[in-house]
Chains A and B, each alone.
Chain A
Amino acid sequence: MSEKFSRRDFLKLAGMGAATTAVLTGCGPASRYVKREPYQQMPEYNYNGQSTYYATTCRECAAGCGLVIRTIQGRAIKTEGNANHPLNLGKTCARGQATLHGLYNPNRVRGPIKHARGDRLYAKANDPFNDNFDDAEPNMSWDEALQTVADALTKYKPEEIGFLMGMAPDHLFDLVTDLANATGINAPVRFGALGMFESRATLSKAAETLFGEARMPFFDVGGAQVVLSFGANFLETWLSPVSYTRGFASLRQAETKMRGKLVQFEARMSATGGKADEWVPLRPGTEALVALAIGRLASEIRGGAMPRVFSSVDPIDVASKSGVKLEALEHIAAMFANSTGALAIPGGAALGQSNGLAVAEAVLALNALADNFGKPGGVYFSPLAPSQTEYQRPASAKEMQDFVQKMKDGKFKALFIHGVNPVFELPASMDFKGALANVEQVISFATFPDETAAEADFIFPDHHGLESWGYQRVVTGSDLPVLSGAQPVVAPYYDTRAAADVLISAAQLAGGSFAQALPFKDEVEFLRGKVSALMGEANGSFSAMDAVAFMASFQQFGGWWKMSDGRTAPSAADALNQNVKGDAAEFAGEGEFFFIPFVSPTLAEAGANKPWLQELPDPTTTVMWNTWLEMNPETAHELHIEYDDVVRVVSEAGAVELPVYVYPAIRPDTVAMPFGQGHTAYGRYAEGRGVNPADLFGGHFNEAGDLAFAGMKVKIEKTGKKRPLSRLESMMGVYGVGLGEEH
């Protein structure tokens, strides 16, 4: 201790004192001052601190639900359903809710980029919560980008230019179609993994065979009393899940009718099967047989002449082949025959087999027996969207294989890819990635740094769906013909540009027939032209005196729809006189297990990069952030496999390793696995998470050209590794694991 207290010490002490008081008064206003930037020019209809709502269309899948996005001072805050929209009536699914995590995703393509194929588009890090992920810097100007597109259009012969697009029949598809028609380039091909798993080609082909029209059928679940669903996962991702879920709700609990019943035929209980009153685990591949047998038994109950389609099937034989007890078949047939509102739906894995077309036909024939065509609770043709003349089906897997073959043969010199991620979504055995090597120039319009974008020469990023203009035809799910409208709800966050704008500008640069094909100032002018063509149509949801007002209403209401039921009844004339080949499906591969891939109900094909979708538990298994293999407890016991054990699934085309989820509701001879994870790019939340069942798919198709994704047998090999799955459920509380023996 000393009496001397140096000046320096004093200052130190003073500093410490001030710092301490500052900490102690940390609640003082100074600690909270933030800078605020007011608008430079306040947009009209905007108030400080108040939300503005914009109607638009959801782009998370091809269904086309109407959304209203709540925005506040230029930021999109919340997705709400558009209550006026005939398809979803104000409701949304989880993916629609999480679309904001796409908009503000930390990994987006931030501007036009030229890069070497295969290069990373963002820095890799192990911790997805870390901020230090750098997206690749844009290294081109948009002028250069437009010139690149224009060059690509002019440098190659029209037939050497291809467009591969997403599944939604939207304005961009119309624009490219117009361009193709005018210039002779290849017509755009639309594809999406959801369409592949829904077997849309099979549905329309069956409709064509039975009813003479290749249309998308609509199943009025809500109006029915007994619904037999052959694998259709209509409460998850199938065709138009929000609309079908609404149907299901009124099947069960409508004010005006009795509670309807749902019977689900599938080897692995899906989320839809979980809601069914009866779940029938039939042997995969025997769906057609079972449908025919039920038809035969139901016809017998109803009496009268046995329809030709059911005449050749032997229910006893079917019972033994399918593993469904004869009594069960009889009981279901009785339920079906005695109901006034019987409906049968084909879908899901049932169609993705070698005999998928027969399944679809047999099931549609059941509806003919129920005589429900064009009746409430029955089968309709979905209304064609306004200005649509025919059902525009997305490409089947077979058609995609032909497309890839053309690529391999060097028939495409320039390929434009928009709204689809074929490197991830197509079966690995098709080798889309390899085929890209034979295409001279690949231009991607990807919003996100996905696997296909990484393989492109140029990425000219399109806006996120919530930043863009557009319209989309609603293919199915609504009784009204709907053209759903999209508008930007926020200003583009990055230096992105609408693909339609890029094409229009590039076409101007390219000149000649290109410039003539797209004589528009910009995307909006093109849109306005298309939309205002509807002005003259009668019975619309709104009308207007001029094109500007019409377009404004189109934006305001989130689309335009006719107010009259656009559904039509399929002709039932020949449906019962067909000859459906009811043989069981053939399975490729050596293994002993049937393999059922299904689309993850929460992630679907493109949700993996949205963190909150990753954190949503799967409806059946409650697993988050990963892929799993579902296996019957008995099988697991026999193979000495426990939950979370990593196994190797080997198909004829490939192999993947993933942890086992011991799943009580799956046949012992079947294993199942969700599709949606297993990305090798696509941003920090998606990459390196889970595995992709597409790696296992071989090149087998059903008669309609859809992929026989469920037509495989696989081998299971133990690896000795363990990988705990993140589950919301408790292993103890739900399965009694670790509670002691007696439980």
Chain B
Amino acid sequence: MIKRFFDWLKQPLGLIAVGIVFLALFSIAAYGLYTTQQSPEQPIQFPHKTHVAFGIQCLYCHPGASKGPSAGLPSQAKCWACHNQIQKTQTSALLAPLKDAVLSGQSIEWVPVAIVPDFVQFNHRAHIAAGKNCEDCHGDVSQMNIAENPQVMNMGWCLNCHVESAGEDQEKLVKLTDCGTCHY
């Protein structure tokens, strides 16, 4: 019976069947990978695009980036300072969660997308000071609606940039490729 099966596999129909199975397995794997790379659900469908279009600077809402390790998420008081004055806030279904949160005093539970593992000590300030722009890592936020992370933020990506920016400066290269610069 096994022999018959193998023989059948050698027939054109069998070859097609093998092809389909392989394709299916590949698609499943690809789908699995795809699911792990999705942007998470956010409590508010926050359109970065719109806000950037109004000319709001990144640092207005994420001021920590220039001062310290964490860029920070704006407090809802900050959101409200503007939205309070915008008529649409009262009517828009999109903005209802913000209104509810502010009125009820509940926190908005954002899910940051640009994240590094807990064993990486990342400092925004140093990167801004080194002349990096937000979009270098976070992508063109002005074209994004809900936040997504355009980069695979892995170590190779970090190192690549570190090595490039060190250039010929040997001392800088040593500092920027030192394990202890990010891991402790």
**Interface size, chain A (Cβ < 8 Å):** 32
Which residues in B have their C-beta under 8 angstroms from that of A1?
Answer: 1-2, 5
Interchain nearest-CB distance for B110 vs A (Å): 6
> Is A37 in contact with B68, judged by CB distance below 8 angstroms?
no
Give A18 to B28 CA distance when docked, in angstroms.
Answer: 6
Bound complex: CA A48 to CA B123 (Å): 12
Asked if A50 and B68 make an inter-chain contact with CB atoms under 8 angstroms apart, the answer reads: yes
**Contact residues of B between 62 and 79, Cβ < 8 Å to A:** 63-64, 67-78
Interface hit among B34-42, B159-167, B174-182: B34-42
- The answer to whether the Cβ of B56 comes within 8 Å of any Cβ in the partner chain is no
Taken together as a complex, chains A and B put the C-alpha atoms of A35 and B108 apart, in Å, by 9
What CA separation (Å) do A689 and B34 show in the bound complex?
A: 53
Complex CA–CA separation, A674 to B8 (angstroms): 84
Complexed CA–CA distance, A35 and B109 (Å): 6
How many angstroms between the C-alpha atoms of A463 and B34 in the bound complex? Answer: 49
Within 8 Å of chain B (Cβ to Cβ): is A25?
yes
Chain A 139-180 per-residue mask, 1 if CB under 8 angstroms from chain B, else 0: 000000000000000000000000000000000000000000
Q: Could you say which of B32, B102, B107 contacts A37, with CB atoms under 8 Å apart?
A: B107
A 1-37 binary contact with B (CB < 8 Å = 1; else 0): 1010000001001100111111001011111111111
Beta-carbon contacts of B94-105 to A below 8 Å, as 1s and 0s? 000000011001
Residues of B contacting A40 in the complex (Cβ-Cβ under 8 angstroms): 75-77, 101-102, 105-107
Query: B40-92: which residues lie under 8 A (CB-CB) from chain A?
Result: 40, 63-64, 67-78
Of B112-120, B127-135, B137-145, the stretch lying at the interface with chain A is B112-120
**How many Å lie between the Cα of A164 and that of B184 in the bound state?**
48
Q: Which residues of A contact B107 (CB under 8 A)?
A: 37-38, 40
A42 within 8 A of B: yes
Structural contact, A25 and B32, CB atoms closer than 8 A: yes
Contacting residues, chain B, for A36 (C-beta < 8 A): 73, 109-112
Contact, CB under 8 Å: B64 / A39: no
Interface centre among B24, B40, B75 (most CB of A within 10 A): B75
| CA A679 to CA B4, docked complex, whole Å | 78
Min distance, Cβ B148 to any Cβ of chain A, angstroms = 10
B23 interface hit (Cβ, 8 Å): no
Is there an interface contact between B40 and A37, defined as CB atoms closer than 8 Å?
no
* Bound CA span A3–B2, Å: 10
- Asked if B75 contacts A41 (CB within 8 A), the reply is yes
How distant is the Cα of A411 from the Cα of B94 in the complex, in angstroms? 68
Bound CA–CA A576/B152 (angstroms): 83
A49 to B121, CA, bound (A): 12
Q: Is B157 engaged at the interface, CB distance under 8 Å to the other chain? A: no
Q: Tell me, in angstroms, the Cα distance from A38 to B73 when the chains sit together.
A: 6
Query: Within 8 Å CB of A35, what residues of B?
Result: 109-111
Q: Is B25 engaged at the interface, CB distance under 8 Å to the other chain?
A: yes
| A546 vs chain B, min Cβ distance (A) | 29
CA of A33 to CA of B64, assembled, Å: 21
8 Å CB interface, A470-520 against B? none
B31 at interface, CB cutoff 8 A: yes
Are B33 and A25 interface neighbours, CB within 8 A?
yes
- Of the candidates A28, A37, A47, which one forms a contact with B36 in the assembled complex, judged by CB atoms under 8 Å apart? A28
Is the Cβ of A49 less than 8 Å from the Cβ of B108?
A: no
Q: Is B16 an interface residue (CB 8 A)?
A: no
In the complex the two chains form, what is the Cα distance from A31 to B32 in whole Å?
12
What chain B residues lie within 8 Å of A13 (beta carbons)? 28
Chain B residue at minimum C-beta to C-beta distance from A49: B70
* In the complex, chain A residues whose CB is within 8 Å of the CB of B31: 18, 21
**Chain A: CB-nearest residue to B43:** A35
Q: When the two chains form their complex, are residues A38 and B76 in contact, meaning their CB atoms are under 8 A apart?
A: yes
CB-CB < 8 A to B40: which residues of A? 30, 33
Closest residue of chain A to B30 (Cβ to Cβ) is A21
- In the assembled complex, B93 has its CB within 8 A of some CB on chain A: no
A71-115 to B contact mask, C-beta < 8 Å, 1/0: 000000000000000000000000000000000000000000000
Assess the A42–B77 pair: CB atoms within 8 A. Answer: yes
Minimum Cβ distance to chain B for residue A105 (Å): 24
Give Cα distance in the complex from A18 to B78, angstroms: 41
- Contact between B35 and A50 (Cβ–Cβ < 8 Å)? no
Identify the closest chain A residue to B70 (Cβ): A49
Contacts of B115 in A (CB 8 A): 29, 32-34
B100 CB → nearest A CB, Å: 13
When A17-B29, A34-B111, A49-B69 are in contact, do A42 and B37 touch as well, CB less than 8 Å? no
Q: Are B28 and A47 in contact (CB-based, < 8 A)?
A: no
B9-25 interface code vs A (CB 8 A; 1 in, 0 out): 00000000000000011
Q: How far is B111's CA from A16's CA once the two chains are assembled, in angstroms?
A: 28
A48 to B105, CA, bound (A): 20
Chain A residue nearest to B14 in the complex (CB): A3
Distance of A32 Cα from B152 Cα, bound (Å) = 13
Q: Closest chain A residue to B116 by CB distance?
A: A32
Asked if A38 and B108 make an inter-chain contact with CB atoms under 8 angstroms apart, the answer reads yes
Give bound CA distance, A34 to B78, whole Å: 22
B32 is contacted by which of A18, A41, A47 (Cβ under 8 Å)? A18
CB pair B36–A42 under 8 Å, yes or no, is no
Collect the chain A residues with CB atoms within 8 Å of residue B24's CB.
Answer: 10, 14
Verify A30–B68 contact, CB threshold 8 A: no
Q: Are A3 and B149 in contact (CB under 8 A)?
A: no
Q: Which residues of A contact B117 (CB under 8 A)?
A: 27, 32
Which 9 residue pairs across A and B have the least CB separation, nearest first? Answer: A48-B72, A21-B32, A49-B70, A28-B36, A48-B64, A17-B28, A37-B107, A38-B73, A18-B32
**Can you give 6 A-B contacts (C-beta < 8 A)?**
A3-B8, A13-B28, A14-B24, A36-B109, A38-B110, A50-B64
